[in-house]
Structure 1
Amino acid sequence: MSTTPLITPELVAIDLTLSDRDAVTRTLVDLLHAAGRVTDPEGFMADVRAREAQMATGMPGGIGLPHARSAHVVAPSLAVAKVPGGVDFGAPDGPATLVFLIAAPAEGDGDHLKILAALARRLVHESFRTSLLQAPDAGTVADIITREVVLS
């Protein structure tokens, strides 16, 4: 894994009022692009859409987990959106209020799987999800994830 932090406050969108999966994902792609972690937002968005078309990435507990390996990603990254109104990511129990976009370089073999596994291990805990939903700002969300999501 690179020395670039997985997540920083500028990769967190708080209180999005979008109800469309594509629009939420696009917001996160734009944050990654603005932070210099994605070179071509259109290209990366197409890669994420292609992955999403294979299988819905909604998880129980109000979680959306879009992810892709892409030639347009510079460093393994995680962008997060809090969507109080919920957005449909195809989870069996309804809309997602937390959306995590995992971006991994195409050549980074297991990077995205390590991130996905580490995140999934935390997301099964309601206390972790609640702490993110109750976090007052982007800095707090980034801090919680940095502390809790440990890549082994």
Structure 2
Amino acid sequence: MTDVITADFVDLELDAGDRQAAARSLAQRLLDAQRVTDLDGFLADIATRESQMPTGIEGGIGIPHCRSAHVTEPSLAFGRSAAGIDFGAPDGPADLIFLIAAPEGGDASHMKILASLARKLVRQDFKDTLRSIGDPGEAAAFIQKEVAPS
């Protein structure tokens, strides 16, 4: 299995005014790597998922995710926003954003990634590391090691 996240999928200076812009920016990275085949189609699938329930969780976390026919393999993109982006969490904007993309009709990989990520995000040291790490390659390696399905 290929890495679910690479340095190319990490933006440590994500500059987006809202959740749609954040998703577009991170999804563009997956499109550039040919893990997404149709950016607008994929973003529509994310928007559909977001309309069902916000994907913000307490602690400054946004986790937009979906299954999509426009995804070629399970992938995870990560962005860090200095300004914060509203993903609907009760405690306010998210500064750590994880975009989980899974192929439609694929196995449960994205749910495994989501579950593993959720378990890690309750740990303050995990969030602190993500907030302080200074290199996209280091961030990708850290996230891959911590949340990739085994």
User: TM-score by structure 1 length?
Assistant: 0.96
Alpha-carbon distance in 2 for matches of 1:124, 1:55: 20
Q: What one-letter code is carried by the residue in structure 1 that aligns with 2:78? A: V
Offset, 1:17: 2.5
Cα RMSD of the aligned pairs, angstroms, is 0.9
Structure 2 unaligned runs (5+)? none
Q: Does 1:124 align with 2:122?
A: yes
Aligned to 1:78: 76
Q: Deviations over 1:94-125 (max 9, x none)?
A: 10000000000001131211110011111111
SS at 2:95 equivalent? strand
TM-score by length of 2: 0.97
Aligned residue type for 1:65 = I
Assess if the C-alpha contact under 8 Å between 2:10 and 2:78 holds in 1: yes
* 3-state SS of 1:51 partner: helix
The one-letter code matched in structure 1 to 2:86 is D
- Aligned residue in 2 for 1:87: 85
Distance 1:151 1:140 in 2: 19
Residue 18 of structure 1 aligns to a residue whose secondary structure is: coil
The whole-number CA distance in structure 2 between the counterparts of 1:56 and 1:13 is 22
Partner-residue secondary structure (3-state), 2:2: coil
- Rounded to whole Å, the distance in 1 between the matches of 2:69 and 2:31 is 13
Residue number in structure 2 paired with 1:108: 106
For 2:105 and 2:53, how far apart are their aligned partners in 1? 22
Count of aligned pairs between the two proteins: 150
Mapped partners of 1:126, 1:139: distance in 2: 21
Q: Secondary structure at the match of 2:137?
A: helix
Q: Distance in 2 between matches of 1:58 and 1:37?
A: 24
User: Is structure 2 residue 31 aligned with structure 1 residue 33?
Assistant: yes
Q: Take 1:108 and 1:84, find their aligned partners in 2: how far apart are those partners?
A: 34
Q: Aligned with 1:81: secondary structure?
A: strand
The whole-number CA distance in structure 1 between the counterparts of 2:109 and 2:149 is: 9
Tell me the amino acid that sits aligned with residue 147 of structure 1: K
Structure 1 stretches of at least 4 aligned residues deviating more than 6 Å after TM superposition: none
